[in-house]
Amino acid sequence: MAALILGIATIVVIVLRTRLDAFVALLVAALVTGFVAGEPATEVLDAITAGFGDTLGSIGIVIGLGVGLGKILEVSGAADALARAFVRALGKGREPWALGGTGAVVSIPVFCDSAFVIMNPLARSIARRKRTGYVTLALALGCGMTLTHHLVPPTPGPLGVAGILGADLGGLVLAGLVFALALLPVVVAYARWIGPKLEDELLPEVREAVYGGAGAGAGPVDKPGPESESGPEPE
């Protein structure tokens, strides 16, 4: 038990305190856990390589195809086009729902952090036109992405769980989608509630980058100002 706790602590420290990749943190944590547990070095290395090989053999092809699809969405501009279509379909005042829903869809094949980098400029553009609401939009976008990133394959986390536990991949996809759809209204509602409260906490440089020299207005995100009369889709 002590070895397991120390291994988890190693992951947390490396991820939070260094710039090392999470894969390196997992590898170091596995070594620490094995050595603290008193296992011989050769057995620790054999267990790590065997576990990695078994997991990669069961889910590697799906991960590879998912990464390929995500890259296509990224470089083709399809993710941004999908977000704009959601915004147009839902209409003015429902931009958080549009970005949350788009984020949930895009984050299935695209890694969550990359997807946020791709789509965050759209959230900034909408907020700039409305002169308010960037925190709400960014939170809705990020929360929607996080849901499917952690629940729906082919993102690596759920796929890894399926490989380790021997779970049915199709059933895991369906269950993840059900939970993600059930939680999406919750996270969007949370973003709409907490976003206006945090708007004044934006760093000056972020506020300048989002709103420009005019700054942000005081209205809530679901009440468009005169700047957004032409529609929610940014130019």
Q: Any alpha helices (H) in the chain, and if so which ranges?
A: 2-17, 22-36, 41-76, 78-90, 95-106, 112-130, 134-151, 156-165, 169-198, 204-211
Of the two residues 53 and 226, the one the predictor is more confident about is 53
pLDDT band at 191 (very low <50, low <70, confident <90, very high): very high
pLDDT (tens digit per residue) in 78-92: 766 777 787 788 877
| Domain regions of the chain by residue span | 60-228
pLDDT (tens digit per residue) in 60-79: 676 666 667 666 766 777 76
Separation in Å, CA 18 to CA 10, 13, 14, 21, 87? 11, 8, 5, 9, 38
**Is the pTM above the cut of 0.75?**
no
Candidates 115, 108, 109; CA nearest to 65 is 109
Which of 27-31, 43-47, 108-112, 198-202 is the least confident region?
108-112
pLDDT reported for residue 40: 87
pLDDT (tens digit per residue) in 149-186: 889 887 777 877 777 777 888 888 899 999 999 999 99
- The answer to whether 93 and 223 are in contact (CB under 8 A) is yes
Candidates 177, 181, 192; CA nearest to 95 is 192
pLDDT band at 6 (very low <50, low <70, confident <90, very high): confident
- The answer to whether 143 and 100 are in contact (CB under 8 A) is yes
Average pLDDT taken over every residue of the chain: 79
Amino acid at residue number 206: V
Candidates 191, 84, 214; CA nearest to 134 is 191
φ and ψ at 160, to 5 degrees? -60, -40
